[in-house]
Amino acid sequence: MRERDAKVWRRTARLVLSEITAEHGHELYELDADPRVMRYIGTGHVRTREDVDDAMRRIPRAYALYPGLGTWRATRRDNGDFVGWFALKYVPGTVEVEVGYRLRHAAWGRGYATEGARELVDYGFDELGLFRIIGITHPENVSSRRVLEKAGLVDAGVGYYYGRCVRVHEALREREWRPRWP
């Protein structure tokens, strides 16, 4: 899809973040069907097409339910290639906001995850005025923990989210922080 066709939400140095709509189901299914991508997510199993169709119904609804939060599709600014997604969203059943990301294997190792995560953390503090942003990882997901650290989150120990024991990272808004909005 060409960039001008998608509802662009914001841009980073190398990425375009856009809203996810029904026509993105197939690329999200391909992402979640890759065992390398899903290794540290949930049970570690790849997702079925039905799982992804469920997510495709939830994601666009969440833009309206939780204005300012969401899951955004990332593409490369230079050639439009699909990179994956980034999210800033409530952890289900809690009042915690988490930063998350899932990238195609072909896009790993180029700093895209760090670039997108930093953008969302800055946005969460500067534009939404959040007090705390967390990152939840499988304890063995070293690269994701590294991404969180490079995005300014620090190790906050072990927590219990999504029905399992996980590693939690957190970033707190600076004490002197004041809103930039009028």
Ligand X SMILES: CC(C)(COP(=O)(O)OP(=O)(O)OC[C@H]1O[C@@H](n2cnc3c(N)ncnc32)[C@H](O)[C@@H]1OP(=O)(O)O)[C@@H](O)C(=O)NCCC(=O)NCCS
Site for ligand X, rule CB under 6 A: 37, 40-41, 84, 101-103, 108-114, 137, 141-144, 146-147
Which of 37, 120 has the CB closer to ligand X? 37
Minimum distance of ligand X from residue 175's CB (angstroms) = 28
Burial class (CB in 10 A: 0-12, 13-18, 19+), 24: buried
**Ramachandran angles phi, psi of 45, nearest 5°:** -95, 150
Which of 113, 130 has the CB closer to ligand X? 113
Minimum distance of ligand X from residue 178's CB (angstroms) = 30
Count the alpha carbons within 13 Å of 69 in the hemisphere toward its beta carbon: 19
181 with 139: CB under 8 angstroms?
Answer: no
Which of 44, 68 has the CB closer to ligand X? 44
The C-alpha atoms of residue 126 and residue 120 are separated, in whole angstroms, by: 10
Which of 142, 165 has the CB closer to ligand X? 142
Minimum distance of ligand X from residue 98's CB (angstroms) = 9
